Copies of this chain bind each other. A is one copy, B any other.
Amino acid sequence: MPGKTINPEDWLAALDESGFRVTTVQETLIDIFAHSEYPLSAEQAWDVARQSRPKTGRATVYRMFEKLESLGLIRRVHGYEGCSRFVPTLPELMMLFICLYCGRADYLDSQPLDNLIQQSELASGHHITDSRLQLFGACADCQQND
C-alpha cells in the first residue's frame, strides 16, 4: 500500500489563514498525522504527542481534532473500531479503503462514487448533498502475505 501523505506546511498555513494562532501543539499534532498511515483517534494522538511534548493536555488534542476537522483537513473514519478515528483529507481521493488485516488506510479515486450518486438521485428523486463511503477488506499486500 503506497504511503500517500500530506504537507504540514499547508496545514499550518491553513490554520494561519483562518485566523488561528500557530502554536507548538499544532505543529506536534500535524506532524503526527503526517507520519501515520493509520487512522488516529484523539486518544492515540495524545499518547504519541506526550512522547515529545509531555505536558500536552488531553482537551487540547480534542480541540485540535475538532479544528482540523472543521477546516476539512482531516475526516472521520467510520470503521470496525468505532467512529472516533481520523485520517488526513486528500482532495479528489475521497473514497477510503481500510485493510482489516494491517489496519492501514488507502485512498481511491472517487469518480465511481460520483457516478453512483448521480444514478441514485435519478432513481430515487432525493437530492443528495453529502455521502459517506468506506470500503473494508484485504489490501493488495495482505492478500499476498497469506
Contacts and interface: CB of A to CB of B under 8 A. Distances in A.
A129 B136 contact: yes
Contacts of A99: 126
Contact of A139 (B117, B126, B140): B126
Given A82-B83, A83-B78, A83-B83, A140 B120 contact: no
Interface residues of A, number: 36
A125 interface: yes
A146 to B, nearest CB: 10
A14 interface: no
Contacts of A117: 135
Contacts of A138: 126-127, 129
Interface stretch (A4-12, A28-36, A108-116): A108-116
Interface of A: 78, 82-83, 95, 97, 99-100, 106, 108-109, 112-113, 115-117, 119-120, 123-140, 143
